[in-house]
Structure 1
C-alpha cells in the first residue's frame, strides 16, 4: 500500500481567486504569450467562487474536499486540473507551474499527467467498456499490445473483466463509474481528480465506488483529490479539507 510521502508536494495551490460573470474581469495573455491572466476588478454582479483558497497535497495522499453546494469545490478542482485559469493565485502540479504552460502544453498535461472522474461518467455510448478505457491510450499513440494489456489490467482492477465487451447503456451506474475510473487511470496519471464521483449513485453503490477509488489509488501510487458532499465517504480519505464561501476553513485528518 502506498502511503503519502511526507515533504513531497504533488499539488500546491496558492491564494486562488476565481469569479464568474460581471463586466470588470477582462482576460489578457500572460507575459511571453504563455497562459492567461485576468484583471482583478469584477463588478458587484460577479459570483466569487474562490476567495483566496490555498492547499497542498502530498504525493500518494487521498484528500477529500467537502462543502455545501456553491462552496467552490468544483472550481478548485478545475483550477488544479488545468481546466480553468484563476483570476489571481498560482497552481503547481507535479512541479509544473500551470501559469507557464500554453494551451497545447496544458492539453498534454491533462492528457498524460492528470486523470479526471466526473459525476456524469462521460463515457462514449457507442464504445464498449474496454474501448472507453483505451481512449486515452489511443490519443497518446500507445502501442496496441501495451494498450490492450493496460486496459485488461485496469478492468480487472475495477472488477469489470466480464463486462469488457458491454456498452455503457448495458451497465449499471456503479459499473459505468468504475469504467470511468479505469479510463482516468489509463495513462498512469500522477494526479487523479474526482468531482462528486458518487453523486448519481445510491448510498451503497457510492460507498463501494469510493472504496474502490481508494484501493486503486493506493495500488497505482496515484495522488487523488476528491470533492464530495457525502459524509460517509470522508472517512475513506487521508485528509479532509472544508471549503466555505470560497475559502478553505478547515483541514483535518480523516
Structure 2
C-alpha cells in the first residue's frame, strides 16, 4: 500500500521540522495552505508556533471552516504545542475573539509552564509509545487542565511544580502534545501518528470498496504556543 499522505498546516510555525520527521518515518509529507490541499491528505499535523497568529491566519485564508469540517469528518490530526491549543474545544486564557479548530474535548491553558525564558526539557512516558520515556521540549507550552470522558491521557509531567499535569492526549483520531517531538530527533510520536493515519486510510479504502460512506480525509464544506 502507498505510504499515507500527511499534510503539515503551513500557515505559521515549525513546519519544516514536522515535514522532515514525517518523511523520516516513511510518510509522504506535504505543506497544506489551501482547502484543496487539505482535501487531498490522509492526515494533518498542526505544528507548534503562535496559536493566536495561526488562528487569525486560518480565518483570513479561509482555512478555519475547512479544518473544522475535516476534523468532524474524521481526518486524523496531530497537534504539537500551539497545535494542541488549536485542537482544543476550550482555551482557558484565550485572547479576546480567539478561535480554534476544536474537536478535542479538553480545556487547555496557554503558556501554562511560563514564558519563553521558562522553556525546559524533560522526560515524559507516553502510553502507546514503546521504549524509554520521550525526550520532550516545552517552549511556552500549554497543558491540559480538563479532559473529557472520551479523551485518553497519554502522558503527564512527573516531578517538579507541574507534577501530574497532562501534556499528551488522544481522542479517536486526534492526538495532541504540549511538547515538540519534532525538535528532538525522537521519531516515535510521528511514527505513532503515521500509523494512525495509515490505519484510517486503509479503512477508507475498504469503505469505498464496499460502498461505504465518506472517507476520513474528505472535507464536506499550530515553537511557541
TM normalised by structure 2 equals 0.32
- TM-score scaled to structure 1, two decimals? 0.29
